[in-house]
Amino acid sequence: MHAADIVASVLVLGIIVVSLLSNVMVLICFLYNPEIRKQVPGLFILNLTFCNLLLSVSNMPLTVVGLITTGHPGGSGICQIVGFLDTFLTTNSMLSMAALSIDRWVAVVFPLSYHSRIRHRDAVIALGYTWIHSLCFSTVATFRSWVGYNHLYASCTLCNVKAKGAGTQFIIFSVALHSLTFLLTFIVMCVTYLKVLKVARFHCKRIDVITMQTLLLLVDIHPSVRQKCLDEQKRRRQRATKKISTFIGTFVVCFTPYVITSKAASDPFVYSLLRHQYRKTCSFLANKVLNRSPLNSSSLRMESSIRSDTNCNTTNSIHPPSNANKLLSQ
């Protein structure tokens, strides 16, 4: 066993641990925060978390075994099942990311009609399509014996070793799969998030104009306070760009090539745990555990509503809230 294999095995084990802990934490937040359950994006995040958890317990352990033994882990039947799950789950998670980007685009560009445009029924239909889409490709690949152990990735996934007799068909299948999953999701994310960024920048400019007018009126303001306001303007303009770059950049890195195991560990932070609602829920649950108090969904709802009302009153007293900036800051 080479030193590189040892390092890779330790790295994958670390990713498995982080992935399991972070995705389980997302599920706990979903279960104990009624506000998250009421939101349509919560369904897409739940589906994405489900895919990441299954990837963490199915494909990643075999990858570690393959790196340690430098050979085929398990039998052919197990590898077929894991390869089916790998194709299904990665395809499903890509489409879930596309659905999340469309949801955020509608929320930002059409804030007043969002609840009439995106309903729970629409989310269920979208998730149904992602499952059917993923099942079709993974089933075809499995029945055509186009899944197997890939030594390059050290995992059971799409592999053309058994497809030499049908090389042209496998190439067509691979192009169709990657075009209708990776490429389609990438285009959807770029278009929707760039439009979100455009709206966010517009609102930032409007807030900047109001801030500058206020600073001009306050002639007696201390220079340090004035500089602090200007610095906040600069951070506000950069925040939206960083968020969009994180969404798109993480997707490209984690799916090039076909799939990288770090995706299952990064998704919970990119789409859930770094958002304000999830951070607040995690903090609430941590305090409950440390105080050895029972987890109570109703108390969480009460505390969440109180904090939400306080935040809204504070924000509205300064300037009108921006839907685009609110979504990107979460």
Q: With H, G, I as helix, E, B as strand and everything else as coil, classify residue 323.
A: helix
Q: Look at residue 308 and tell me whether its pLDDT is greater than 70.
A: no
Q: In this structure, what token pair is assigned to residue 90?
A: 């990665």
Q: Which helix (H) or strand (E) holds 149?
A: strand 147-150
| Cα–Cα distance measured from residue 26 to residue 271, given in angstroms and rounded to the nearest whole number | 10
Q: Look at residue 105 and tell me whether its pLDDT is greater than 80.
A: yes
More confident of the two residues 179 and 74: 179
Alpha helices in the chain (DSSP H): 3-32, 34-38, 41-69, 76-109, 114-117, 120-143, 167-178, 184-217, 223-254, 262-268, 276-290, 297-318, 323-329
Q: With H, G, I as helix, E, B as strand and everything else as coil, classify residue 107.
A: helix
Region class of 74: left (phi > 0), else alpha (psi between -120 and 50), else beta? left
**Quick one: pLDDT at residue 95?**
92
Q: Which segment of 83-92, 134-143, 159-168, 188-197 scores lowest on mean pLDDT?
A: 159-168
Mean pLDDT of the chain: 76
More confident of the two residues 98 and 69: 98
Q: pLDDT class for 296, splitting at 50, 70, 90?
A: very low
Q: pLDDT class for 46, splitting at 50, 70, 90?
A: very high
Q: pLDDT class for 24, splitting at 50, 70, 90?
A: very high
Q: Look at residue 137 and tell me whether its pLDDT is greater than 90.
A: yes
Closest Cα partner for 87 from 139, 47, 49?
A: 139
Q: What's the mean pLDDT in 138-145?
A: 89
Q: What's the mean pLDDT in 125-151?
A: 90
Q: What's the mean pLDDT in 73-94?
A: 85
**Quick one: pLDDT at residue 265?**
75
| Cα–Cα distance measured from residue 283 to residue 264, given in angstroms and rounded to the nearest whole number | 22
- Maximum alpha-carbon separation in the chain: 81
% of the chain exceeding 70 in pLDDT: 68
**Quick one: pLDDT at residue 164?**
53
% of the chain exceeding 90 in pLDDT: 16
**Quick one: pLDDT at residue 110?**
87
Q: Which residue is it, tokens 């300064």?
A: 318
What are residue 46's phi and psi, to 5 degrees?
-65, -45
Q: pLDDT class for 56, splitting at 50, 70, 90?
A: confident
**Quick one: pLDDT at residue 61?**
83
Q: With H, G, I as helix, E, B as strand and everything else as coil, classify residue 158.
A: strand
Q: Which segment of 83-87, 165-169, 269-273 scores lowest on mean pLDDT?
A: 165-169
Highest mean pLDDT among 49-53, 265-269, 279-283, 320-324: 49-53
